Amino acid sequence: MHGVIVCPRCGRAKGVRASQKTTSCQCGFVIPVHASRLKARVENVKDLPEAVRTVAAAGRLEAPRRKKPSRDVTTRVAEIAAKAGDRRHRILAAAESLTAELVLFTAEDFDRVLRVLNLPEVQSCLDILRRENLLAEPRPGYFRVVSG
């Protein structure tokens, strides 16, 4: 038995044997083949090209649209931190995200993010994290969140 599978990365339709475990797309993505993901099934390999054309013509070739990440680190970090709960969690989420993005961040980096979040007191926010032993200062003026 054969079938048609659609690449989740680029959206191309491809004919495969239903018994194989994986297949490679032209875009380089390795697609796991599961019987439940087959868009069409055929018994004869001669019918496979027509099945691929049918799936492609049915409009299933469109790859899912992904939102491009913002190029600005401050915006990305602020978007993540804004989803956190109360003030303390927003501060911690901002610091954790800056650590993930930049490894070491400065008070100026933290201040830019806090201003977007309407939390302009950067020193008091840093003090909150220091009191809870969540912030390390490996070099003077550079901070990172310590894993708990």
pLDDT digit string (tens) for 102-144? 999 999 999 999 999 998 899 999 999 999 999 999 999 999 9
Q: Assess if residue 10 is contained within a domain.
A: yes
Is 64's pLDDT higher than 80?
no
* Cβ neighbours, 10 Å, residue 35: 10
Axis crossing angle, helix 87-102 with helix 73-82, rounded to the nearest 10 = 150
Q: Please tell me the distance from the alpha carbon of residue 101 to that of residue 21, in angstroms, as a whole number.
A: 36
Q: What is the pLDDT of residue 61?
A: 46
Q: Assess if residue 62 is contained within a domain.
A: no
pLDDT-derived band of residue 145, with 50, 70 and 90 as boundaries? very high
Q: What is the total residue count of the chain?
A: 148
Q: Assess if residue 87 is contained within a domain.
A: yes
Which tens digits make up the pLDDT trace of 41-53? 999 889 999 998 8
Q: What is the pLDDT of residue 12?
A: 86
Task: Looking at the structure, tell me whether residues 49 and 98 fall in a common domain.
Answer: no
Could you tell me where the beta strands, DSSP code E, fall in the chain? 2-6, 13-17, 22-24, 30-32, 40-42, 105-106, 135-139, 142-145
Give me the CATH number covering residue 53.
Answer: 3.90.820.10
Q: Assess if residue 88 is contained within a domain.
A: yes
> What residues have CB less than 8 Å from 14, skipping those under 6 apart?
4, 5, 6, 7, 23, 25, 31, 52
Task: Looking at the structure, tell me whether residues 49 and 109 fall in a common domain.
Answer: no
Overall domain count for the chain: 2
Instruction: Give the count of alpha carbons within 13 A of 75, CB side only.
Output: 5
Containing structural domain, residue 99? 73-145
pTM: 0.54
Residue 23: φ, ψ to 5°: -145, 155
Region 18-32 average pLDDT: 88
Is 101's pLDDT higher than 60?
yes
State which amino acid sits at residue 39. Answer: K
Residue % of the chain over a pLDDT of 90: 50
Q: Tokens 């490679």 label which residue?
A: 24
Q: Which two tokens stand for residue 118?
A: 């309407």
Task: Looking at the structure, tell me whether residues 100 and 138 fall in a common domain.
Answer: yes
